[in-house]
Structure 1
Amino acid sequence: MEFHYKRATDEAALQELRKALVFFYGGATVTEADPGFTVSVPADLSEKELGDVVRHFLRGQREVPSKVVAENAGRPDAQCALPHDDRMEVGPGAYLQGPDWADAMDATRALVRGHLADRFDVPQLRASALISRDVLVKAGYYRKFPNLVNAVSRIRSDYWDGVSVSQLRPGQDDALASFYVASDMVLNPVTCYHVYAKAQTLMERHAAGMFGIEGPVFRHESHNHTATRLAEFTMYELVGMGTEEEVATYFRGLLEAYTELFAALGLPHRIVSASDAFFGDDPTLTRNAQLMSGSKFEVRIPMEHGELSVASVNSHGAAFVDSFGLSQGGKVEATCCAGIGLDRLAYALKAYGLLP
């Protein structure tokens, strides 16, 4: 489907639009025209629907200067090359890891956990792959990233004859689907949601306001998977909750810790203010608030085909406090988190030859 937008738009906004459309629809061309530009996507949308998507996204694309917190050239002898990768794809963005890749993940995990454990002595949690759908609704994930949720199905509760299901043959997809309904559980897209969902119990049990959590993460990007953009990956996060002053201290500490960590790893990188590619409700307010307040920073590593974002530090203000009812009589006024995609970081370390 093609749509012609008749207003002049700066080049940076057009690049962001193209990336966002590729992210959600698997492909897009954005061609400058006079006036405006023309957009084409390989999706079953009407011209009006595509126009609404484009206009909605551009409302969030005012030019806001980025802020660079750190820039490091890495080790002088570090050269980027295509890394040895013995993973075997089992589906779009999902891999069986070979021995070499498994060792790389173990080494990357040890480097990250070792550095951050020295700085933050916090309870360490292990996340579940499943999470309640209601948690994602509370967190606002469906409003911001409706395309990325991986639903889970189960046999209908009113269906008792399992023989019919067992006798289905390959290709009988419609018949198979008729026996199943969506579950109340989904595959978890963000590890920190587990912490917010159980925050009161965790804080009382461990007498702590910050937690480390590692676990599997799932995001449905069926048209957009690569060796580094995965449908299933492992994330390590530090999550902080407390008063506004406490969380401001957590946030500064996390940013400093990430600056030291990536300098110590020897990877060339920069840490820069960033925003999410929102198509959800009111992208203007969300994007501008992130960029102007400096509430989100990404660690970006130069690779052969552009920068690779491997980590982020995020300040959420009272957003999750309100969503999850975390205030506890004023003890929790804000939250923050800092996450590292271990698979992406392992890929970058292997590409630069920085793993043992």
Structure 2
Amino acid sequence: MFALQDLQARRLLSVVASGNGLIGYRFCDTLHQAYEALDQALINTMSRHISATAHSCTTLIERQALEKIGFFNKLPCIPMTASPHACSDHSEKEHEGDWILSPSTCYHTFTHLAGSTERWDLKCFTALGHCHRYEPVLEEPTRLASFTMREFVLLGQQSQVEHMCQVLFDSGVALIRRLVPSTFVKRASDVFYGESAQVTRKVQLALGVKLEAVIPWRQRQVSVGSRNLHRDLFTQAFKIGPQAPEPAMHSACVAFGMERLLLSLLAQIGDPDRLLAHLHEVLGAPPAGQQAKEFEHAALV
């Protein structure tokens, strides 16, 4: 079992912390190599099923982009606003032109595609985004206010989107289980919706629109990835694809919190050097039978 203090003493990790429990991590040397190896393994795994168009993200996103999906009604206390030190040019109209520290990677995909009239049966985009959420919890090393998320976003015809989303999620879970066999999947709702959105969370659980990949860690369970079915929420809000009376395209995503995933693996394996060696050993290539099974599953689309 590793200790954060030991990693800090070895200058493999440092913590960015605030007084109210908000934290983020920096990784260095062997630990950063393991972080990059994990990200590449996820990309390689998903690419066996579908070709993904890569794009970059900014740290900031326009407030208006999140207002389109009713973000602030569902998550009233979570967003963190970014404002300049000198605010003399700030608009008098409330919130006009405000920037938010981006809470999720997929919002950049949807804002990039906003207004596109092209229709796809199935298309995939991927990005590694810096995300920020106000979820202060003291003495909780996996509840991060600043973290990176590798996300795969699918758009297209509903049945194809939902099927491929499950294929990608299953493939990601299988990859993680090769490293931590005790990894399991459960139905979930978004914790960051807050206590005031109990109805939203109940609907998510009932419909099974969100699944999480969970790794046991000490006396807790850590969610390291998720599968999310958006239906036509984002394609309608951002006007992606042909509009009514034609049927709307649907979207879905598979996302992994990279810091949580790395630290959860480290909690199971121990020393960062052993973790990196184990990653290279296990992630070099999937067993032939598993790879054939994954291709067979993907071919059903």
TM-score category by the smaller chain?
0.7 to 0.9
Corresponding residue for residue 156 of structure 1: 87
Alpha-carbon separation, structure 1, partners of 2:174 and 2:62? 36
Q: Work out which of the residue numbers 92, 108, 111 in structure 1 matches 2:41.
A: 111
What amino acid is aligned across from residue 109 of structure 1 in structure 2? D
Query: Displacement of 1:208 after TM fit?
Result: 6.4
List gaps (5 residues or longer) in structure 1: 1-79, 160-180
Corresponding residue for residue 288 of structure 1: 202
Alpha-carbon separation, structure 1, partners of 2:66 and 2:89? 27
1:344 aligns with 2:260: yes
Alpha-carbon separation, structure 2, partners of 1:197 and 1:115? 26
What amino acid is aligned across from residue 157 of structure 2 in structure 1? T
Pairing 1:139-288 to 2, within 5 Å after superposition: 139-154=69-84, 155-158=86-89, 184-200=98-114, 209-224=123-138, 226-277=140-191, 278-279=193-194, 283-284=198-199, 286-288=200-202
Alpha-carbon separation, structure 1, partners of 2:69 and 2:132? 16
**Residues 57 and 128, structure 2, Cα contact 8 Å, conserved in 1:** yes
The count of corresponding residues between Structure 1 and Structure 2 is 255
Alpha-carbon separation, structure 2, partners of 1:296 and 1:222? 23
Distance change in 2, residues 1:228/1:100 (3 Å): farther
Distance change in 2, residues 1:322/1:206 (3 Å): closer
SS in 2 for 1:94: strand
Q: Normalising to structure 1: TM-score of the pair?
A: 0.64
Pairing 1:28-47 to 2, within 5 Å after superposition: none
**Residues 225 and 231, structure 1, Cα contact 8 Å, conserved in 2:** no
**Residues 300 and 311, structure 1, Cα contact 8 Å, conserved in 2:** yes
Q: Deviations over 1:77-117 (max 9, x none)?
A: xxx65475332223230334332432231222122222222
- The sequence identity of aligned pairs, in percent, is 27
Deviates more, 1:321-330 or 1:140-149: 321-330
Query: Displacement of 1:212 after TM fit?
Result: 1.0
**Residues 153 and 251, structure 2, Cα contact 8 Å, conserved in 1:** yes
Distance change in 2, residues 1:311/1:244 (3 Å): same
Corresponding residue for residue 95 of structure 1: 25
1:85 aligns with 2:16: no
**Residues 139 and 193, structure 1, Cα contact 8 Å, conserved in 2:** no
Distance change in 2, residues 1:195/1:342 (3 Å): same
Alpha-carbon separation, structure 2, partners of 1:216 and 1:206? 28
Asked which structure has the greater CA Rg, the reply is 1
Query: Displacement of 1:223 after TM fit?
Result: 4.5
Corresponding residue for residue 37 of structure 1: none
Q: Work out which of the residue numbers 52, 57, 61 in structure 2 matches 1:127.
A: 57
Root mean square deviation of aligned Cα: 2.8
**Residues 143 and 280, structure 1, Cα contact 8 Å, conserved in 2:** no
SS in 2 for 1:213: strand
**Residues 119 and 257, structure 1, Cα contact 8 Å, conserved in 2:** no
Query: Displacement of 1:150 after TM fit?
Result: 1.3
What amino acid is aligned across from residue 165 of structure 2 in structure 1? F
Distance change in 2, residues 1:344/1:308 (3 Å): same
**Residues 153 and 182, structure 1, Cα contact 8 Å, conserved in 2:** no
Q: Normalising to structure 2: TM-score of the pair?
A: 0.75
Distance change in 2, residues 1:282/1:342 (3 Å): closer
Q: Work out which of the residue numbers 276, 288, 295 in structure 2 matches 1:355.
A: 276
List gaps (5 residues or longer) in structure 2: 270-274, 278-301
Q: Displaced runs of 4+ in structure 1, greater than 6 A?
A: 205-208
Deviates more, 1:253-262 or 1:122-131: 253-262
Corresponding residue for residue 318 of structure 1: 232
